[in-house]
Amino acid sequence: MSAVITLKSRFEFEKVYQNGRSCANRLLIMYMVPNGMSCDRFGLVVSKKVGNSVIRHRARRLMKESVRLMGRIGEKGYDVVLIARPGIRDKKMPDVDEAFHHLLKILRHKKPER
Protein backbone atom coordinates (compact mmCIF):
# COMPACT_ATOMS: atom_id res chain seq x y z
CA MET A 1 0.00 0.00 0.00
CA SER A 2 1.61 3.26 -1.09
CA ALA A 3 1.31 6.44 0.94
CA VAL A 4 0.03 9.64 -0.62
CA ILE A 5 2.49 12.53 -0.37
CA THR A 6 0.55 15.66 0.60
CA LEU A 7 0.99 19.39 0.29
CA LYS A 8 1.09 20.91 3.74
CA SER A 9 1.93 24.61 3.78
CA ARG A 10 -0.19 27.50 2.63
CA PHE A 11 2.66 28.60 0.35
CA GLU A 12 2.54 25.27 -1.54
CA PHE A 13 -1.22 25.53 -2.05
CA GLU A 14 -1.00 29.15 -3.24
CA LYS A 15 1.75 28.24 -5.70
CA VAL A 16 -0.52 25.62 -7.26
CA TYR A 17 -3.52 28.00 -7.34
CA GLN A 18 -1.53 30.80 -9.01
CA ASN A 19 0.57 28.80 -11.48
CA GLY A 20 -1.54 25.71 -12.13
CA ARG A 21 -4.06 24.77 -14.76
CA SER A 22 -7.57 24.11 -13.49
CA CYS A 23 -10.64 22.17 -14.45
CA ALA A 24 -13.92 21.33 -12.71
CA ASN A 25 -16.93 19.05 -12.82
CA ARG A 26 -19.93 18.59 -10.51
CA LEU A 27 -17.99 16.87 -7.73
CA LEU A 28 -14.43 18.21 -7.83
CA ILE A 29 -12.21 21.10 -8.84
CA MET A 30 -8.62 20.22 -9.76
CA TYR A 31 -5.54 22.42 -10.02
CA MET A 32 -2.36 20.89 -11.43
CA VAL A 33 1.19 22.21 -11.94
CA PRO A 34 4.55 20.45 -12.61
CA ASN A 35 6.71 20.49 -9.48
CA GLY A 36 10.14 19.54 -10.87
CA MET A 37 10.39 16.55 -8.53
CA SER A 38 10.16 12.84 -9.23
CA CYS A 39 7.02 12.36 -7.12
CA ASP A 40 3.44 13.60 -7.24
CA ARG A 41 2.11 15.59 -4.27
CA PHE A 42 -1.55 16.13 -3.48
CA GLY A 43 -3.55 18.62 -1.47
CA LEU A 44 -7.14 17.86 -0.51
CA VAL A 45 -9.55 20.66 0.38
CA VAL A 46 -13.07 20.21 1.75
CA SER A 47 -14.80 23.37 2.94
CA LYS A 48 -17.67 23.72 5.39
CA LYS A 49 -20.02 24.30 2.44
CA VAL A 50 -19.86 20.56 1.79
CA GLY A 51 -21.40 19.63 5.15
CA ASN A 52 -20.69 18.87 8.78
CA SER A 53 -17.43 17.30 9.98
CA VAL A 54 -18.59 13.72 9.39
CA ILE A 55 -19.52 14.46 5.76
CA ARG A 56 -16.33 16.47 5.16
CA HIS A 57 -14.15 13.68 6.55
CA ARG A 58 -15.94 11.09 4.40
CA ALA A 59 -15.40 13.26 1.31
CA ARG A 60 -11.70 13.59 2.17
CA ARG A 61 -11.39 9.81 2.59
CA LEU A 62 -13.05 9.19 -0.79
CA MET A 63 -10.75 11.68 -2.51
CA LYS A 64 -7.64 10.26 -0.82
CA GLU A 65 -8.55 6.69 -1.77
CA SER A 66 -9.12 7.72 -5.37
CA VAL A 67 -5.67 9.34 -5.44
CA ARG A 68 -4.06 6.30 -3.81
CA LEU A 69 -5.57 3.87 -6.31
CA MET A 70 -4.58 6.02 -9.27
CA GLY A 71 -0.80 5.72 -8.78
CA ARG A 72 1.45 8.01 -10.83
CA ILE A 73 0.11 10.88 -12.93
CA GLY A 74 2.92 11.05 -15.43
CA GLU A 75 6.65 10.68 -15.90
CA LYS A 76 7.48 13.91 -14.13
CA GLY A 77 6.06 15.01 -10.82
CA TYR A 78 3.02 17.21 -10.33
CA ASP A 79 1.49 19.17 -7.50
CA VAL A 80 -2.27 18.61 -7.52
CA VAL A 81 -4.95 20.28 -5.40
CA LEU A 82 -8.39 18.65 -5.30
CA ILE A 83 -11.28 20.71 -3.96
CA ALA A 84 -14.55 18.99 -3.08
CA ARG A 85 -17.78 20.60 -4.21
CA PRO A 86 -21.09 20.25 -2.31
CA GLY A 87 -22.29 17.67 -4.86
CA ILE A 88 -19.87 15.11 -3.41
CA ARG A 89 -21.99 14.80 -0.27
CA ASP A 90 -24.07 11.75 -1.22
CA LYS A 91 -21.75 10.12 -3.74
CA LYS A 92 -20.07 6.73 -3.53
CA MET A 93 -16.47 5.78 -4.30
CA PRO A 94 -17.03 4.88 -8.01
CA ASP A 95 -18.59 8.31 -8.63
CA VAL A 96 -15.71 10.19 -7.00
CA ASP A 97 -13.14 8.02 -8.77
CA GLU A 98 -14.81 8.64 -12.14
CA ALA A 99 -14.91 12.41 -11.52
CA PHE A 100 -11.23 12.41 -10.51
CA HIS A 101 -10.14 10.49 -13.61
CA HIS A 102 -12.30 12.71 -15.82
CA LEU A 103 -10.53 15.86 -14.58
CA LEU A 104 -7.13 14.20 -14.78
CA LYS A 105 -7.74 13.20 -18.40
CA ILE A 106 -8.76 16.76 -19.32
CA LEU A 107 -5.77 18.41 -17.60
CA ARG A 108 -3.26 15.97 -19.08
CA HIS A 109 -4.32 16.91 -22.61
CA LYS A 110 -4.81 20.62 -21.97
CA LYS A 111 -2.01 22.73 -23.42
CA PRO A 112 -0.09 24.96 -20.98
CA GLU A 113 -1.19 28.59 -20.91
CA ARG A 114 1.45 31.15 -21.85
Q: What is the pLDDT of residues 59-76, one digit of tens each?
A: 999 999 998 888 777 667
Which of 76, 4, 68 lies closest to 38, judged by CA? Answer: 76
> pLDDT value at position 1?
43
| CA 82 – CA 96 distance, rounded (Å) | 11
Domains of the chain: 10-109 (3.30.230.10)
pLDDT in tens, the chain (114 residues): 466 788 999 999 999 999 999 999 999 999 999 988 888 899 999 999 999 999 999 999 999 999 888 877 766 788 999 999 999 999 999 999 999 999 988 987 765 554
Report pLDDT for 36. 86
Q: What share of the chain is helix, strand, coil (3-state, %, to 5)?
A: 40, 20, 35
Strand, coil or helix: what is 10? helix
